[in-house]
Amino acid sequence: MNSIKAMKLILLALAVLLGSLSAYAQQQTGTIQGSITDEKGAAIAGATVTITQKATGRVINATTNDEGYFEARSLPIGSYSVKVEQAGFSPSVVENLSVHTGQVSNASLGLTVGGVAATVQVEGTSTQLQVDTTRHTVDGVVTAQAIDRLGVNGRNFLDLAGLQPSVVIRDGGAIDPTKENAYRAVTVNGSSGTGTRVQIDGIDVTDETVGTTIANVSTDAVEEFQLSRSSFDSSTSLTTSGAINIATRSGSNEFHGSGFYNFRNEKMGARLQYLQDKPPFYRKQFGGRFGGPIMKNRLFFFTNYEGTRQAAQDVTQSTDFPQLNFTTSLPVKFNYFTNRVDYNVTDNARLFYSHRYNDDLSTGGSGPSPFQNVNWTNAHVIGFDVTGSRLTHSIRAGYVNFNNRIQSQELTFKFLATPQGFPFFLGVGSFQAGPNSLAPQETYQDNKQVKYDGSYVMGNHTIRFGGEYNNILLGGFANFAGPLSVGGLFNAATKAALPPSQQGDPLAYPLDNFSTGPNAGFFTAAPAHGFAHGGRRNHRTGVYVGDSWRIRRNFTFNFGTRWEYDSGFFPPSSTPELTIVNVYGPKKGAVAKYPKDAFSPQVGFNWDVFGDGKTSIRGGISRSYEMNIFNNGLFDEFARLPPGIGPTFLDFSDVVGPDGAPIVVPVPAGLGCTAADVAGGDYSCLAGQRIGSVVGVIGAVHQAVQAAYSNFTFDPTQGPSEFENTGGFTFGGIFPGDYRIPYSIQTNIGIQRELFRNHVIAIDYVRNRGVGLPYLLIDHERRRSADTFSATAARSRLASVLSVPAASVNPAAIDAFIAARLARTPSITTNIGTFDLGRDSVFPGLTPNITRARIMSGGYSLYNGLQVLMNGRFSRDTMNRFSIGEHPLVREMGYTISYALARAEATSGSGRTEFINNNTNNININDDFGPTGNDRTHIFGAGINMDIIGGFRLGQVWTFRTATPQSLFVPFIDSFNSRNALFTTDLNGDGGISSTGARAELLPGTQIGALGRDIKSFAQLNQILTAYNQNFAGKLTPAGQKLVAAGLFTEAQLRALGAVVKPIALVPESNPWPFQNRFNLDLRIERPIAIGENVRIRPSLDIFNVFNHTALGQYGFASGCGCLAPGLNGNFGALNYNYQTDPQGRGGISELTRSVRTRAQDGRLIQLNIRVDF
């Protein structure tokens, strides 16, 4: 579609689809609206409405239209009075009307005939919660009182988002190492939190590289925040999961401030069950806020600072390798600054400027493989709001600059090194130590953004319109391939093959694989942020228009659309086409283009059933698009560029230089390699050798790679692409020219009801259907797939092993070879690994020059949930009924209670649909569909704050979550070369080129996420395992069947060689069930002490995890299944290991799960706090 046609389409849509949604979801301000009637219910036109902001004295004037309706938008959060006057009627005033972020406050009044002196006063929403009778958005607001009174471990206010239905908070490190400790991932409706859109003071601060957010702000600087879960406002940019809108504090006509200091250490916490002592820990948090008038009623200021200093101990324990049993100090340091100035230009216009700065230093990874992460962010925002009687304008302009650096570092454990002096990462079973693969890297993001939101009241219509432009500059580098990485083969068989004195030495185990790469880390060619390469500029433009149509006084119909164009969604159009990939289909190698017709229409309604504002039924349906984080798209451009600037990943089977020439180093005799083997840069012949014996060769290969790349001059217009140079073995995958951007269809229907005064409940059914989510990589080359078997190559390989002519290869020759080998060495074992037929040459895929062709496609995701949110407040008058004498047991109490009954599912069970995912089934990609790693059947949350007898305050945060499910995969049990697992685990014949040889294969009889959902006991699991052993064990895989069909082996021979599906041991039903629900109470006990009229000292005690319920999580993450899922290989840590007979007495649930514990699963912690308000 050319640009002229696209513009015509846009203008047509803007003219016809008047939309959106009175759901002012992405406004950090609120709205007051109302209908004014006489005693008979007739509309009163021309009435004067005076709206006064209590904190600043600002007065906004409006008048009712012919329908008796008025609306004042873009109002700062706070308490207001609304006075309505009309000749012949008594004035009426609504006092203490609360305005909240993105919400609509109703000030409808009925005037009575009378004089001016007889003013009727109505108490507003500061004491009475309201039913929303105009919007259909499913959302909630966490207020200033909740933020101030509820204790949060770590003082990140976003943790309180967990009080909303179907919301779970995770440490940002679960998304990306750049977010370790300091940031939060807010998972909404079963999402990962990657795509949750975040804005502060109206400016977008979403991390466009990895997701979550690029800015932090002190809890003391936050006024409140809104979280939208379904039917987002059309002003919301790219997201399919959720949107967070944060409003910072501002000054008022009175000087107010507060300072705090929090402290805790290991002596104030409970000991974890599997540790004899409590590891050292230290944390102090301190800071304050202050604000007030510079010029009364006109100019105000606010300032804030918060700091955190923390030192924690990482406990590393390894049963197989005791040299990894040690503790390491992991320091953490945060600083947050906020400054803001507000200016009431006129009664109807206000201007503000805010500046925020935050920095954080934290240590991530693990004790034996740590990295240090440093972030710092500057953000500037200017806002201008004009609130008129009919027309309103809201403008935001902002600049956000985010910076991140990650470095690998040695702490207590000193890294192993090659004889050449290169430190390397070694992974052998539970021995995972060495330079962290996530470092070094640097990430930068600049946002230069301007937004406009307007509205116009016309009769029964409120027309909304607006747009935004965001100039996003991304950049940095990540040397993921540079650190040398070595993998060993560890299982019961390889351990038993070693003398007892060597079983604790990881260097004594056989080599499984190694990888190397150059000391480079750019993925894109464009310069940015002071680097010669690594940049991506994105011009994101969005416009929207909509109508909130009050068809009847008690029925509002909302409809509208948004159009968005994201120029940086894919690599630049100048990026070279990968013509080599067109072998898999037309346009597969072309550069994808963002569509120019990306419209997001939506329709909704709200019906005030009885017209009394106490019961509303609301519903809506909409389409929204998902962003494509830079971490997805940069891999696409990298694959298309010539080598030389990026982290070229060189697997040990294909080590080449930037010009494509093989890297060849001599291999000493006796290590299983000939000169011919390595002539093409293939060092896979080293597999199976003792790691300690070949580490010198590996170091020499790594050294040669560094030399080859250091002498190479990069030219983006010259040479073969990275994809061609590595045979497609690049990071991530490519977006084909026919790729369609992902979106979701969101549907919600629900009811809100005022149960009784100050108590409102909302019950909503929410459905979110993702199309093209998860981002899914499909390997079109299909190496090692059974249907690509080459009988000629297999015969040639066997001929070289048997030392006979190819024409003489047959089952009889195989028997003769085995017999002769055994006669020479009676102790030797011959298995399918001896012949090494699981190699690429035998199962060569579809083309000769491509090893892997991962091309982006899209799966499906689905969330279905019943969500309940109840907010309430018991006033003093109510609580005075429960007293001891004249002393009420509880003076006041407010609460938020949420519950969700839901199911979140996706293709391949992806728990992070917004990021690139590998599929588990390369034949029928959407067959493996089921509950994701973020699926929780039940989620309950409650925040309760109360003033009780004796002047004490209690703040309580209750949490209950059921465990997430896990998938069951066929385990890798054999000790021979792992790529030959094609003959033991590849039940569907789809192959794969992972280090285990075959893709993770779902256990037949189960589906994604079956354990913990369909399978609820070990007895059920054993029934499935019994059926598996009867129907699959001892039989040939499709790859084995090909060998028999070609006349190379008999089935009996393959069975004798171990080239059949292995039986899986049943699970001892006495083993601990691997799932535990999460039940938690965080309690704050506070006793404010007044000093004079203006000063209060507030000492408090926080008890996090009162019941010391650690919800230790799941075990069964045994290696050897090619996935992070409960292992069934029979080793310690697997589900089917017999823990009752363990010779070391291991097997308590706490010990089994210590490797998967998270920050939220600490034992009971106590923290001392002191705050002074003035």
Let me know: does 180 contact 171? Beta carbons within 8 Å: yes
- Side chain identity, residue 626: E
Higher pLDDT, 331 or 580: 580
pLDDT in the model for residue 113? 86
Higher pLDDT, 567 or 367: 567
273: which 2 tokens? 């069950």
Let me know: does 654 contact 233? Beta carbons within 8 Å: no
Is residue 365 very low, low, confident or very high in pLDDT (cuts 50, 70, 90)? Answer: confident
Tens digits of per-residue pLDDT, 30-51? 999 999 999 888 999 999 999 9
Tens digits of per-residue pLDDT, 1076-1100? 888 999 999 999 999 998 999 999 9
What span, in angstroms and rounded, lies between the C-alpha atoms of 994 and 985? 13
pLDDT in the model for residue 1048? 97
Tens digits of per-residue pLDDT, 796-843? 999 999 999 999 999 999 999 999 999 998 888 899 989 999 988 999
What span, in angstroms and rounded, lies between the C-alpha atoms of 557 and 546? 11
Is residue 891 very low, low, confident or very high in pLDDT (cuts 50, 70, 90)? Answer: confident
Residue 2 above 70 pLDDT? no
pLDDT in the model for residue 236? 92
Higher pLDDT, 28 or 894: 894
Higher pLDDT, 6 or 367: 367
pLDDT in the model for residue 430? 82
Is residue 975 very low, low, confident or very high in pLDDT (cuts 50, 70, 90)? Answer: low
What is the average pLDDT value for the chain, to the nearest integer? Answer: 90
Crossing angle (nearest 10°) for helices 791-802 and 1038-1045: 80
Residue 20 above 90 pLDDT? no
Residues forming beta bridges with residue 257, ordered by sequence position: 290
Residues forming beta bridges with residue 745, ordered by sequence position: 623, 769
Strands 526-528 and 441-458, by their bridges, are unpaired
User: Is the omega angle on the peptide bond into residue 440 within 30 degrees of 0, that is, cis?
Assistant: yes
By three-state DSSP, how is residue 268 classified? helix
Cα-to-chain-centroid distance, residue 622: 23
Residue 397 above 90 pLDDT? yes
Helix and strand numbers (H, E) in the chain are: 15, 49
Tens digits of per-residue pLDDT, 479-512? 988 889 999 988 878 888 999 999 999 999 999 9
- Give the residue from 986, 1011, 1012, 1008 showing the smallest Cα distance to 910: 1008
Is residue 528 very low, low, confident or very high in pLDDT (cuts 50, 70, 90)? Answer: very high
Which helix H or strand E contains 48, and what residues bound it?
A: strand 48-53
Is residue 1130 very low, low, confident or very high in pLDDT (cuts 50, 70, 90)? Answer: confident
- The 10 Å Cβ neighbour count of residue 951 is 12
- Give the residue from 315, 375, 382 showing the smallest Cα distance to 342: 382
Is residue 648 very low, low, confident or very high in pLDDT (cuts 50, 70, 90)? Answer: confident
Share of the chain above pLDDT 90, in %: 71
Is residue 1032 very low, low, confident or very high in pLDDT (cuts 50, 70, 90)? Answer: very high
CA count, 13 A, side-chain hemisphere, 515 = 21
Crossing angle (nearest 10°) for helices 791-802 and 811-824: 30
pLDDT in the model for residue 1157? 38
What span, in angstroms and rounded, lies between the C-alpha atoms of 387 and 806? 87
Q: Which domains does the chain have, with CATH numbers?
A: 24-134 (2.60.40.1120), 940-968+1075-1174 (no CATH)
Q: What's this model's pTM, rounded to 2 decimal places?
A: 0.89
pLDDT in the model for residue 1156? 43
pLDDT in the model for residue 23? 37
Give whole-number Cα distances, 655 to 660, 695, 708, 950, 1059, in Å: 9, 16, 11, 74, 29
Residue 355 above 80 pLDDT? yes
353: which 2 tokens? 């400027």
pLDDT in the model for residue 998? 67
Residue 21 above 80 pLDDT? no
Higher pLDDT, 1141 or 1062: 1062
Q: In what order do the strands lie in the sheet with 120-123?
A: 59-63, 48-53, 78-85, 92-99, 120-123
Mean pLDDT of 669-675: 89
Residue 140 above 90 pLDDT? yes
